[in-house]
A and B are shown apart, each in its own frame.
Chain A
């Protein structure tokens, strides 16, 4: 069956190429043209923001716009964002929230995934189903009571509401991802270790965890993006500007809208663009480093889900 399939592949390919080479190249050309246009559209806002971030406040409002900054204030503007606002503190806050969320989410999600993948207990399938259905639960419904609970605990205006829940379960997405991964690891490995007298915790730490590095990298990569980019959480729980995360702090540079009456003075659009690029940068860099983990994670949860 497969052999026939393969011969057909080559036969079809050969006949196509032999019959209409010109059409083939035109088709390839068109595909590359479309991909290039699409790629350009994806990148234009970054490019335009970058060019704008090197301009002077009076140059940025010119119409028709200048393209390359005439005064070339890149260094100046990128230095200014740290002076103008406590931007470094906001980045630091984001780093604290993101790293603590990530550690908690991965630690607890891998433990819970271990439970779902390797233990038989009454009610397991019910819990698993409930866990999966929380993935589809619109957050609006828990938003208000969660706020009230954290307010009662005195946690508002601290990072705790953003971090602590991640330590208890680590998110349905991560549990599912890691559980799917554990399912692919042969049980013989656990059983061999158990024969040698290892308890379940030892099996988990010594046998399973070392094998799950790719899945953990995937969860970490996607979790980093989710936490770093989170807007609604910080918006609700953080009021004191000293505690803002970078994403929340971005609005400081905004002007002329009611949502950002935090700042006053001349237009800061050039700084806004510079700051936006700085805030987006860690995620973009992370993707370049861990691209295959992103793709793998999305595919696992999307197709086998």
Chain B
């Protein structure tokens, strides 16, 4: 059936391609070829190798040995006591930092959308943390959050509050990493995208609502938020993918410590692969993370139909 269909399309399309069209197609592929080669060599082939590798035991020194599903059983069946807790930590990080980041970015965007004097100046101030190398921002904040002599401790103490011990304590280590992440992202690309989205909200709508006597809050909830929902959705998708992969800040600021308090799943993959050279097993854990991320993303796309409103969409 599929073959016939395919054949029919070929017979119906091919003859219609003139010599010029065929030349254009050939030229198109020529210009596409750098990407095509790069895609096959640096994306498609690694993906295939990674799938194969995840069913093997491979420590670089000896050739890979096929072991079936053992890596996955080891990871998910409790053989590796670190996997589930580290997935849990990555989720904790994502569940707190993504909503706070979205609300924070939206609030900054709303503030910057108020016809301020010198908006570019303020935008720059908010954007600078995003440009800071993640290693440098982790180091700056490790210094700010130093449990003995940090500026944050000094500030909290001087207003009469006790200071958490941040990266020296189990329960405040992840909040510390979240703080670094938020500082580096609230004024960043999500905010710029929100700002552009806000400027696209039709003035006619808010003014019509104003005439009807709607207050600021009602306009915000019933006009701005629905109109912004595609932008919220985009930022949320990208935010969750990024948050579940949190690595740099944790690696630099705490290196997974104290006693595994910030041992995120990406750190676990890195350690397994590049410190213990257990490549096959690390590939399996990486695939578990990818399946989680892809499932969540698909789920969000399905759920988005209930709350994302696209302007100009016919319903």
Contacts and interface: CB of A to CB of B under 8 A. Distances in A.
B245 interface: yes
Interface string A1-28: 1001100110010000000000000001
Nearest to B23: A200
A64 B156 CA distance: 12
Interface stretch (A36-44, A74-82, A212-220): A36-44
A120 B20 CA distance: 11
Given A65-B149, A200-B31, A251-B135, A48 B143 contact: yes
Contacts of B136: 247, 250, 276-277, 279-280
B38 A165 contact: yes
Contacts, number: 289
Contact of B149 (A61, A127, A146): A61
Given A115-B32, A144-B282, A31 B116 contact: yes
B133 A48 contact: no
Contacts of B204: 1, 4-5, 8
A45 B46 contact: no
Given A231-B134, A269-B143, A141 B193 contact: no
A262 interface: no
Interface residues of A, number: 102
A251 B207 CA distance: 54
A213 B154 CA distance: 49
Contacts of A1: 204
B46 A167 contact: no
B247 A232 contact: yes
B interface, size bucket: 35 or more
A58 B71 CA distance: 50
Contacts of B127: 287, 294
Interface of B: 13, 21, 24-32, 34-39, 41-43, 45-47, 49-50, 53, 60, 108, 111-112, 114, 116, 120, 122-129, 131-137, 139-141, 143-144, 148-149, 151, 153-154, 183, 187, 189, 192-193, 196-197, 200, 203-204, 207-208, 210-211, 231, 234-235, 237, 241, 244-245, 247-248, 251-252, 254-255, 257, 266, 269, 273-274, 279, 282-283, 286-287, 289-290, 293, 297
Interface of A: 1, 4-5, 8-9, 12, 28, 31-32, 34-35, 38-39, 41-46, 48-49, 52, 60-65, 108, 111-112, 114-116, 118-122, 124, 127, 130-131, 134, 136-149, 151, 165, 167-170, 175, 200, 204, 225, 228-229, 231-232, 235-236, 247-248, 250-251, 254, 257-259, 269, 272-273, 276-277, 279-280, 283-284, 286-288, 291, 294-295, 298-299, 302-303, 305
Given A42-B126, A170-B35, A272-B139, 12 more contacts: A31-B114, A49-B143, A131-B39, A138-B286, A142-B46, A143-B286, A146-B42, A148-B49, A168-B39, A229-B131, A259-B251, A302-B231
